[in-house]
A and B are shown apart, each in its own frame.
Chain A
Amino acid sequence: DSGVTQTPKHLITATGQRVTLRCSPRSGDLSVYWYQQSLDQGLQFLIQYYNGEERAKGNILERFSAQQFPDLHSELNLSSLELGDSALYFCASSVVREPEAFFGQGTRLTVV
Chain B
Amino acid sequence: AQSVAQPEDQVNVAEGNPLTVKCTYSVSGNPYLFWYVQYPNRGLQFLLKYITGDNLVKGSYGFEAEFNKSQTSFHLKKPSALVSDSALYFCAVRDVDAGNMLTFGGGTRLMVKP
Contacts and interface: CB of A to CB of B under 8 A. Distances in A.
Scoring A2, A56, A99, A105 by chain B CB atoms within 10 A of each residue's CB, the highest score goes to A99
Interface residues of A, number: 23
B100 interface: yes
Given A100-B49, A103-B43, A106-B43, A43 B90 contact: yes
Given A31-B100, A99-B51, A105 B42 contact: yes
A111 B34 CA distance: 32
A68 interface: no
Contact of A55 (B45, B94, B100, B107): B100
Contacts of A45: 101-103
Given A99-B49, A103-B36, A56 B100 contact: yes
B104 A43 contact: yes
A99 B32 contact: yes
Interface in A11-44: 31, 33, 42-43
B99 A56 contact: yes
Contacts of A102: 46
Contact residues of A: prevailing secondary structure:
strand
A33 B94 contact: no
A4 B94 CA distance: 20
A56 B90 contact: no
Contacts of B101: 33, 45, 48, 56, 58
Contact of B43 (A48, A58, A90, A94): A90
Interface string A100-112: 1111111000000
A92 B44 CA distance: 9
B104 A48 contact: no
Nearest to B47: A100
Interface of B: 32, 34, 36, 42-46, 49, 51, 90, 94, 99-107
Interface of A: 2, 4, 31, 33, 42-43, 45, 48, 50, 55-56, 58, 90, 92, 94, 99-106
